[in-house]
Structure 1
Amino acid sequence: MTAVTACPCGRTDAKRRPIAYTACCGAFVDHVDVALAPNAECLMRSRYSAFVHQRADYLLATWHTSTRPASLDFDGDAKWLGLEVRDHRMTGDLTAEVTFVARYRLPSGAVRMHERSRFVREDGRWFYVDGDVL
Structure 2
Amino acid sequence: MRSRYTAFVMQDENYLRHSWHPDTRPKTIHLNEDTQWLGLKIKSIFAGKKDDETGEVEFIARSKFNGKASRLHETSRFSRFQKRWVYLDGYFME
Under a length normalisation based on structure 2, what TM-score does the superposition of the two structures give? 0.90
Verify the 8 A CA contact 2:17 2:25 in the aligned structure 1: yes
Instruction: Kindly report structure 1 stretches of 4+ aligned residues shifted beyond 6 Å.
Output: none
Report the Cα offset of residue 72 of structure 1: 1.4
Counterpart of 1:119 in 2: which secondary structure? strand
Larger radius of gyration: 1
- Cα RMSD after superposing both structures: 1.5
Match of 1:98 in 2: 57
Measured against aligned partners, the alpha-carbon deviations of 1:70-93 in whole angstroms (never above 9, x if no partner) come to: 121211211000000011111793
Distance 1:75 1:132 in 2: 21
Mapped to 1, the partners of 2:81 and 2:43 lie a distance apart of 24
Is 1:117 the equivalent of 2:59?
no
Which protein is richer in strand relative to its size?
2
Match of 1:54 in 2: 11
> What's the secondary structure of 2:23's corresponding residue?
coil
Partner Cα distance (1:104, 1:97) in 2: 22
- Aligned pairs for 1:1-134 (under 5 A) are 44-90=1-47, 93-134=52-93
Deviation of residue 124 (structure 1)? 1.6
Contact 2:54 2:78 in 1 (8 A): yes
Query: How much identity, in percent, do the aligned residues show?
Result: 45
Measured in 2, the distance between the counterparts of 1:131 and 1:73 equals: 16
- Structure 2: which 5+ residue stretches go unaligned? none
1:81 partner amino acid: L
Write the distance in 2 (CA, Å) between the matches of 1:53 and 1:127.
Answer: 18
